[in-house]
Amino acid sequence: MKNKLLHFCWVLAPLIFLCTCKNKEEVLFTKLSSGSTGIKFSNTITENDSINIPSYYYCYNGGGVGIGDFNNDGLQDVFFTGNMVSSKLYLNKGKLQFEDVTQAAGVSTSDWIMGVSVVDINNDGWLDIYLNVAGPNNMHTHHNLLFINQGVKNGAVSFKEEAAAYGLNDSSFCVQSAFFDYDHDGDLDMYLLTNDVDGVEKTFV
């Protein structure tokens, strides 16, 4: 009886091993270092006497990330929004290598940026960047920013801030926006989500 049991175990063990190997899940993601990708953005929040949880309840709500091909080279680029640091634009150079072109592209920020929408707002074939601005009452002017893509010149993409010209320089402590053709007239409309620090929440179309 003992020999039969031992023989059965020897037969069963390889089968279990084969089944385990067959059902082993493949790794879907690989963590890459900032040194290998070139992406070194950090949305660092530093509390002080004027910026803290008691004075600004949404201090740690974070920011947004926008993905899009801003220079029309067929590669997806990355835009990070910053709260107490400048937002950053990283162009995809291929093979998971990115370059910080924030200053050269003209998209540096000094406001408390929350959400970001990547949209070709003027239908010229170049993706634009719309930023939602919030933050403590005593910190900034709180109006949203719209960076219009000027295309690629001399191999570099650049943007121009034109929120006021497009009527989108809202100052309602904005969190996120969505663009779509609400009235089916062929033009993009916008739904704006806000989170007012005074306790009166508003949404706009």
The model's pLDDT over 92-151, given as tens digits with 9 standing for 90+, comes to 999 999 999 999 999 999 999 999 999 999 999 999 999 999 887 655 567 999 999 999
Model confidence over 177-189: pLDDT tens digits? Answer: 999 999 999 999 9
Task: With beta carbons less than 8 A apart as the criterion, state whether 80 and 68 touch.
Answer: no
Domain range summary for the chain, segments of one domain joined by +? 32-204
What is the structure's pLDDT at 205?
Answer: 56
Q: For residue 61, is pLDDT > 70?
A: yes
The SS3 call for residue 17 is helix
Q: 185: which DSSP letter?
A: S
Q: For residue 24, is pLDDT > 80?
A: no
What is the structure's pLDDT at 142?
Answer: 78
What is the structure's pLDDT at 4?
Answer: 53
What is the structure's pLDDT at 23?
Answer: 55
Mean pLDDT value of segment 162-175 = 93
What is the structure's pLDDT at 52?
Answer: 83
What is the structure's pLDDT at 62?
Answer: 83
Band (pLDDT 50/70/90 cuts) for residue 68 is very high
**Percentage of the chain surpassing pLDDT 70?**
81
Q: For residue 81, is pLDDT > 60?
A: yes
Q: For residue 192, is pLDDT > 80?
A: yes
**How far apart, in Å, are the Cα atoms of 117 and each of 29, 66, 167, 172?**
25, 6, 16, 17
What is the structure's pLDDT at 26?
Answer: 82
Q: Let me know how long the chain is.
A: 205
What is the structure's pLDDT at 54?
Answer: 82
What is the structure's pLDDT at 29?
Answer: 92
Q: For residue 201, is pLDDT > 90?
A: no
Q: For residue 171, is pLDDT > 90?
A: no
- CB neighbour burial string for 158-177, b if at least 16 within 10 angstroms, e if fewer: bbebbbeeeebbbebbbbeb
